[in-house]
Amino acid sequence: MAQSPDLDRRQFVTIVTAVLGSIMGAVVGLPAIGYLISPALAQRSKEAWIPLGVLDNYSIGTPTIINFTRSKVNGWEKTVNSYGVYVYRKSQTEVLVFSNICTHLSCRVTWNDEVQEYACPCHDAHFDIDGGIVFGPPPRPLDGYETKIEDGYLFILFQEA
């Protein structure tokens, strides 16, 4: 075939196919990436004040476990998660609230009255009554909650992950 300076039929079809194909690929392909990763990007960090009942119901000097549940919608399903916290009333007005989740690997700690420490059953971590590390592998003290007392009721500031 004689070389003409203009596009021949084949070249034209090749270019049109490549351009249209690229546009169609991009129009479907780029949203598809967003489709796959969008649940990971959804930041739904929520805060809530959780009521833990009348403050005077907690005895002074001994940590008391109390459980509450929070429901969360993940995609098409509603999950109810249970949480446990230790309420430690130091004095008439001073109160500390700790999560019972061990800061090491998320096992649940329990208050041991005999040694006056929180103990984790998984790797024998011990925390003192103020949440500080006594011994064991945890990287940081027990996580505490911000507290407030309104009309004699105790509340904690719960941060949803």
Partner 1 sequence: MVKRLFTWLDERLGLIGIYDTVLDRKVPKVNWWFTLGSASMFLFVMQGVTGVFLTVYYVPSPDHAYDSIQYIMNGVAFGWLIRGIHHWGATLMVLVVFIHMLRTFYFAAYKYPREITWLTGVVLLLSTLGMGFTGYLLPWNQRAYWATTVGTEIPGTIPLIGDWILRIMRGGTDLSAVTLARFFSLHIWFLPATIAAMVGIHLYLVIRLGISAIPDKDD
Give the residues lining the site for partner 1 (CB under 8 A).
Answer: 28, 31-32, 34-36, 38-39, 75-77
Q: Which is nearer to partner 1, 94 or 160 (CB)?
A: 160
Task: Give 20 or 115: the residue with its C-beta nearer to partner 1.
Answer: 20
Q: Rounded to the nearest whole angstrom, what is the least distance from the CB of residue 38 to partner 1 in the complex? A: 4
Question: Which residue, 22 or 112, is less far from partner 1 as judged by CB?
Answer: 22
Rounded to the nearest 10°, the torsion over CA 94, 98, 103, 107 is 150
Least distance (Å) from partner 1 to the CB of residue 41?
A: 8
Distance CA 69, CA 53 (A): 14
Say how many CA atoms lie within 13 Å of 67 toward its Cβ: 7
- Within 10 angstroms of residue 62's Cβ, the number of other Cβ atoms is 14
Query: What is the distance of C-alpha 1 from the center of its chain?
Result: 69
In the complex, minimum distance from the CB of residue 69 to partner 1, in angstroms, rounded to a whole number: 21
Shortest distance (Å) from residue 42 CB to partner 1 = 8
